[in-house]
Amino acid sequence: MRSVSPKVMFIFLIVLAYTLGTATYLRAVNRADAMRPDEGAFKKLLGDGRRLFAGQFIEMADVYFHSGMYPSIFDRANNAKATKAVTSAVDEHSDQDYPDDHTGHKHDENGNCQHDEHDDEHVKAMTPVAENWLESFIHRFRITKHTHLSNGNEREILPWLKLAIELDPQTIETYTTAAYWLRRDLKQPDQAELVLREGLRNNPTNYELLFEMGLLQKENRHDHDRARNLWLAALKCWQLQSEEARKEDGSSFSKIASNLGELEEEDGHHEQAVTYFEQAKPHSPNPEAIQGWIDRIQTAAKAGTNAVPVQPR
Amino acid sequence: MNTVWALATVVIKELYRRKDFYVLFVLTALVTLAALSVNFFNDTKIVRYVKDICLLLIWLSTLIIAIVTTARQIPAEKENRTIFPLLAKPVSRGQVITGKFLGCWLASGMALLVFYVFFVIVTGMREPHLQWVAYTKAMVLHWMMLAVVIALTLLGSVIFSAVSANATICLIAIFGILFVGEHLAKLAVKQTEPMRTLTYTMFYCIPHIELFDVRKQVVNDQPLPGVIDCGLASLYAAAYTGVLLNGTWLVFRRKSLST
């Protein structure tokens, strides 16, 4: 057997050590990546500081939604009360049993505002007021007509929502807003589902995301079984919260239970429907409407019909 | 007029010999194309964010080009001592100022045209119908705004000794006007005297270049001001440019040219 030169042996060992080291490291990195979701470029670049910018991007989405007509920080400072109705709009809709819009206020099918404050508070807060000749001249070069995106143009807000999600994966409102527009007006339920799944990956026990996913299954996929399971999971997650958090967010429970009741009613399970509506009633900001549902279901059940009662929203 | 034109052509030649414009254009193009290539929810019709980013970069780039090009005109002539043979010819100081202004304004206009052609091409890739009238109005208003900026920088170049100081001060002043200018009256209301009067005076005296910024309308497909309003805005810009150039001439005609 030929003897190997010590130099060759040394080089061979170095190459072997390097190869083994690299292979082991890559395997370890791959395993770690598989266990942890991708953090994205923003997390790597900005760290936790990125959350500071997320609100700006949500606001940008709102600016686009209003076709560029938006009060400046100076206008908002002058009109703090009226502006609150605009900026805290998403909180507003969470108080409703049947949310109609994720920009925070109801709109008709053409995208026009339907909520009561629209004519007064909302438009007033959004419209700049000229107080001298120079300001009125400058306003001629500004957008002064209050409009909302419609006819599929709502897609224009999506890039900003996507960026807001990247920047702050813990803001639930961003996922639900993006999913809402994708599934309802843009007819992209698959993309909406991906958004909600991403939200659930980042916030596994969030009942609002589960509720929104249930809505998608019911309204877009017409899959009542999945919708039911998701809403039951949402109720479970809601109940897992602390006593204080449950007291603060009773309207979410009411919203989920009401939708479950409606689902059971549609499936002809009258007793189960009444049970859910009874559960929803104490937490609802509008218990009379819930009682109306219960009465109608009971009347329909007594009459032996499966007709879905009409619910005033 | 021939003298003024001759001075202006030298400035225009300087713009395309220097690298500033090319660097800023390539940077704008790269960032815009990178933004365009991003896929948001598999929707290829989303375009407004690209228009927004592209127009923002165009505004930044043209402001930098206009300020930097103008700020170094007279100091460079003084530093290289070319101002002496220039004024030894039958060229008045007023003609130097007018020629420099015209050259910088035309050079900025040419740069602006290239930027807007790029903007139209990028927008055309996603938007089925282009709004030619709106884009033309936006570009003309933008160009008129640059006239005020160039005149202001030219005035700065005869007041401040260093190019960097002038460029920095002009940039700060212009960004200040763009961000706060139209809100000064609202701020004045909250002030106590004498700050209130001071803020109101500032509001009425500064050139409101922010009114030429119609990016929001272009991005959101909203109607732009009419031809009469655009004409009034152009007159407004021309008046401020005239005042600033006159001020520059008044300072420059008595200024010692030795560095």
Contact A68 B204 (CB under 8 A): no
* Res. B89 pLDDT band, cuts 50 70 90: confident
Confidence at residue A36, expressed as pLDDT on a 0 to 100 scale: 59
Does residue A176 or residue A34 have the better pLDDT?
A176
On whether the CB atoms of residues B86 and B97 are closer than 8 A, the answer is: no
Which two structure tokens, joined as six digits, stand for B94? Answer: 């007023």
Mean pLDDT of B66-80: 88
**Which of B40, B47, B204 is the mutation pick for testing A, counting most A CBs within 10 A?**
B40
Does residue A187 or residue A304 have the better pLDDT?
A187
Confidence at residue A290, expressed as pLDDT on a 0 to 100 scale: 81
Residue B202 lies in a domain: yes
Query: In chain B, how many domains are there?
Result: 1
Confidence at residue B56, expressed as pLDDT on a 0 to 100 scale: 95
* Res. A214 pLDDT band, cuts 50 70 90: very high
pTM attached to this predicted model? 0.80
Give the chain A residue nearest B230 (alpha carbons). Answer: A141
Q: Is the pLDDT of residue A109 over 50?
A: no
Give the chain B residue nearest A149 (alpha carbons). Answer: B220
Residue B58 lies in a domain: yes
Residue B103 lies in a domain: yes
Mean pLDDT of B32-52: 89
- Which residues in chain A have Cβ-Cβ distances shorter than 8 Å to B186? 74-75, 78, 131
Residue B259 lies in a domain: no
Q: Which of A146, A147, A142 is nearest to A130 (CA)?
A: A142
Rounded to whole angstroms, the Cα distance separating B106 from B15 reads 10
Chain B interface residues facing chain A, Cβ-Cβ under 8 Å? 38, 40-43, 45-49, 141, 182-183, 185-187, 203-204, 208, 210-214, 216-217, 219-222, 225, 229, 232-233
* Res. A91 pLDDT band, cuts 50 70 90: very low
Q: What are the contacts of B22-29 at 24+ separation with CB within 8 A?
A: B24/B61, B24/B64, B24/B65, B25/B61, B25/B111, B25/B114, B25/B115, B25/B118, B27/B57, B27/B61, B28/B54, B28/B57, B28/B58, B28/B61, B28/B115, B28/B118, B29/B118
Q: What is the DSSP letter of B45?
A: T
Out of A29-33, B146-150, B196-200, the most confident range is: B146-150
Q: Which of A68, A138, A195 sits opposite B182 (nearest CB)?
A: A138
Residue B125 lies in a domain: yes
The chain-wide mean pLDDT, for chain A, equals 78
Rounded to whole angstroms, the Cα distance separating B227 from A292 reads 58
Confidence at residue B62, expressed as pLDDT on a 0 to 100 scale: 95
Contact B220 A68 (CB under 8 A): yes
Q: Which of A120, A188, A122 is nearest to A178 (CA)?
A: A188
Residue A202, number of CB atoms within 10 A of its CB: 17
CA R_g for chain B: 20
Chain A interface residues facing chain B, Cβ-Cβ under 8 Å? 64, 67-69, 72, 74-75, 78, 131-132, 134-135, 137-138, 140-143, 145, 152, 155-156, 158-160, 162, 178, 182, 186, 188, 191, 195
Tokens 């160039």 found at: B150
Rounded to whole angstroms, the Cα distance separating A274 from A283 reads 15
User: Cis link prior to A159 (omega < 30° from 0)?
Assistant: no
Residues of chain B above pLDDT 90, percent? 58
Which two structure tokens, joined as six digits, stand for B167? Answer: 């460029």
- Which residues in chain B have Cβ-Cβ distances shorter than 8 Å to A141? 141, 211-214, 225, 229, 233
Confidence at residue A79, expressed as pLDDT on a 0 to 100 scale: 65
Residue B16 lies in a domain: yes
Does residue A289 or residue B196 have the better pLDDT?
B196
Q: Which of B187, B211, B220 sits opposite A141 (nearest CB)?
A: B211
Does residue A116 or residue B177 have the better pLDDT?
B177
- Looking at A239-248, B99-108, B225-234, B245-254, which range is the least confident one? A239-248
On whether the CB atoms of residues B180 and B155 are closer than 8 A, the answer is: no
Rounded to whole angstroms, the Cα distance separating A97 from A17 reads 64
The chain-wide mean pLDDT, for chain B, equals 90
Confidence at residue A304, expressed as pLDDT on a 0 to 100 scale: 66
- What is the ipTM, given to two decimal places? 0.84
Min Cα–Cα distance to chain B from A34, Å: 24
Domain that holds residue B116: 2-252
Between the two ends of chain A, the Cα-to-Cα distance in Å is: 92
In DSSP terms, A279 is beta-bridged to none
Which two structure tokens, joined as six digits, stand for B106? Answer: 């035309």
Q: Is the pLDDT of residue A252 over 80?
A: yes
Min Cα–Cα distance to chain A from B140, Å: 14
Q: What residues have CB less than 8 Å from B107, skipping those under 6 apart?
A: B11, B12, B14, B15, B65, B69
Min Cα–Cα distance to chain A from B206, Å: 11
Mean pLDDT of B95-123: 93
Confidence at residue B29, expressed as pLDDT on a 0 to 100 scale: 94
Tokens 């929203």 found at: A313
Rounded to whole angstroms, the Cα distance separating B115 from B221 reads 19
Confidence at residue B4, expressed as pLDDT on a 0 to 100 scale: 86
pLDDT tens-place string over residues B179-216: 988 888 888 888 888 889 999 999 999 999 999 999 99
Contact A75 B186 (CB under 8 A): yes
Min Cα–Cα distance to chain B from A45, Å: 18
Coil/strand/helix, residue A113:
strand
Contact A67 B40 (CB under 8 A): no
- What count of CB pairs under 8 Å joins A to B? 78
Domains and CATH numbers, chain A: 205-313 (1.25.40.10)
Rounded to whole angstroms, the Cα distance separating A164 from B18 reads 40
